[in-house]
Structure 1
């Protein structure tokens, strides 16, 4: 039992790191497919990942010393079906009868190991039926494949990291684990009775997809940032890009040209189903130009320009009027950044929030999710 608890504790400790690595791809996928990320869907998906991680750790932990594994002479595999029944009977006290015999069998390590293997795969069957909407046949198949993956992991000595297997490949485990997945499928309605159906979750997601929230815009920006970095890496082989001003100009050109030629979309925005439009009926090129000039040339460069100007004032002697004017310019640069970061905080909690640069350029982000789903039907 301590081995089970150790594996569960290890999974709980390492899962936040894995969840962090999955967060961005998960956000992008959810926004592209459903247009939003309801908290219940997130809870279900991440609990499923945690569950898989626990199963995997139960199969491989605790990790033994390779030198000790090399000395093992225990069998590598057990290929006789239903051998676990022989083990249970062999270790049972057959002199007992009735309730005493049943209790004796339940206390048998072979019995509760078998029971725990069934119990371990019951949640898998529940997930397959409730959230992934799989049929009974596919649930049985996927339960078998997951069990086979675990058994092959053990048979290969953790993918040949160890000189030989330190856990037994057991054909009975394939059957028992698959039985657990089947059991989970059959009893899933008992566990999910009070939960909304997958269809309800999807409808809720699509209903919320009209709102363009901060994290949806952030997901689009991350994708565009990756694209820009790839483009900059390629361009840097031909052109020397060393100044901040050059990067700011490149960002401006990327977003301005992308939205101009695609009527409001970038690669990132397209993936998460949003686009930039004007408040008026038609969006002019000047609105795209002003929007991204204010954001990438003014707002994102203001802090650096303000610091450079302040450094110049502190290291040089100039007349009083120009000095006052430059100090005012420094304050303006820092004020621009303060306003932007305050707006960032507000946008986290307010849906469809328009930043100052959007108000000045008379533009906003809108959802295109329903347009996309309509086009694919």
Structure 2
């Protein structure tokens, strides 16, 4: 029976790097929005919880049928609604004699008993996470544990929501009971765990966001979000509407006018909770023109002109333009790498404009900033 558990666990660890990569940006955005920065311990717990969820889902669903057109299960009903039926199964399948304690060791070798233990242990980490990390009350943990178990059971009995022709696992009300019990056991264990680990509600007590550096990872996420917004608009205006200067129109409106009006923020910067700060209390128009003008109008415009400009003749001018653009790109990349490895260096467009990126103030309600209920 142990092999049946090791198989899905091995798949969970194999696919974890892919899941971790896919969840990296959402995890970072949530941390930036709620706390203003990324705490490594908090991030470690989130990835540990992700690994747990992968293990739980794979343990419940694997192994899958060999084909979508699977045969019906050889049972009278795929739904078992009699509570505590597992006691009858344990008594029937084990060789335990209540009056003989020496026979109790047989329990750890019998499928019916081990199945109950597994169903309890499966949701224990879920309850621990809810209390320690999310700091929920016991009622919330009870409902969430039951909902997670119900999700598992419904997914199984529906053949993964109709993907398979027939269910390949039973819907068992005892699984709901034992899974929910496991969640509540985890909730109780978390009370012991909090005395051995840092309190989640005190992780940010000594953090001064005004002195924290805005990482290049955070900038890259904001840049990517802004690009996903502006590039489709530029493409539609250029190709469909045939607007020759579409790139420069959108860039000026989005990267110069918008940040000036919104205290140094674009949509991407607002999502990751950063803003451009000038020399004074308010960002000046000249500062944002120099900063984003160098970055988007000049450097970005060189690439945009390559598409829109026509080069008559043999193509010599075109080749010369491309070589010049690549040379500029090389200088920019070297400058970026130097700034990545030396945090004391300032990006050229920031140095020339006298601006920098800072963490924006959190305008969420006080209750939300504190993280809800305490343990």
If the length of structure 2 is used for normalisation, what is the TM-score?
A: 0.84
1:338 matched to 2:330: yes
The secondary structure found in structure 2 opposite 1:70 is coil
Cα shift at 1:370: 4.8
Give 2:4's aligned residue: 3
| Partner SS state of residue 203, structure 2 | helix
Deviation string, structure 1 residues 7-41 (Cα, Å, up to 9, x no partner): 11112222222222222222222211111111111
The structure 2 residue matched to 1:93, chosen from 92, 95, 99, is: 95
Distance verdict in 2 for CA 1:238–1:46, change over 3 Å:
same
Q: In 1, Cα distance between the equivalents of 2:211 and 2:184?
A: 35
Kept in 1, the 8 Å contact 2:86–2:174? The answer is: yes
Query: 1:314–1:40: structure 2 CA closer, same or farther, 3 Å change rule?
Result: farther
Compared CA separation, residues 208 and 126, structure 1 to 2 (3 A):
farther
Structure 1 residues 68, 252: CA separation in 2 closer, same or farther (over 3 Å shift)?
closer
Partner of 1:46: 47
Q: Quick one: distance in 1 between partners of 2:272 and 2:102?
A: 62
Mapped partners of 1:174, 1:327: distance in 2: 69
Q: Secondary structure at the match of 1:26?
A: helix
Q: Distance in 2 between matches of 1:374 and 1:84?
A: 47
| In structure 1, distance between residues paired with 2:40 and 2:305 | 41
Higher-helix-fraction structure: 1
Distance 1:191 1:158, change over 3 A: same
CA RMSD of aligned residues (A): 3.5
Residue 275 of structure 2 aligns to a residue whose secondary structure is strand
**Deviates further, 353-362 or 37-46:** 353-362
| 2: CA distance, partners of 1:333 / 1:238 | 27
* Shift, 1:262, TM fit: 1.9
Alpha-carbon spacing, 1:49–1:333, altered in 2? closer, same or farther (3 Å): same
Find out whether 1:104 has 2:106 as its counterpart.
yes
Rounded Cα–Cα distance in structure 1 between residues aligned with 2:282 and 2:86: 73
Aligned residues: 366
What residue is the counterpart of 1:366 in the other structure? 358
Gap regions ≥5 residues in structure 2 = 370-375
Residue ranges of structure 1 left out of the alignment (5+ in a row): 318-325
Q: TM-score, normalised by structure 1?
A: 0.84
CA contact (8 A) 2:260 2:283 kept: no
Shift of 1:159: 0.5
Residue 353 of structure 1: CA displacement? 5.7
Distance 2:174 2:252 in 1: 62
* In 2, Cα distance between equivalents of 1:283 and 1:301: 24
Where in structure 2 are the equivalents of 1:1-377 lying within 5 Å?
1-66=2-67, 69-74=70-75, 75-94=77-96, 97-203=99-205, 207=209, 210-232=212-234, 234-236=236-238, 238-240=240-242, 246-247=246-247, 250-280=250-280, 283-301=283-301, 316=316, 334=326, 336-348=328-340, 354-370=346-362
Alpha-carbon distance in structure 1 between the residues aligned to 2:174 and 2:368: 45
Question: How many angstroms apart in 2 are the aligned matches of 1:89 and 1:15?
Answer: 39
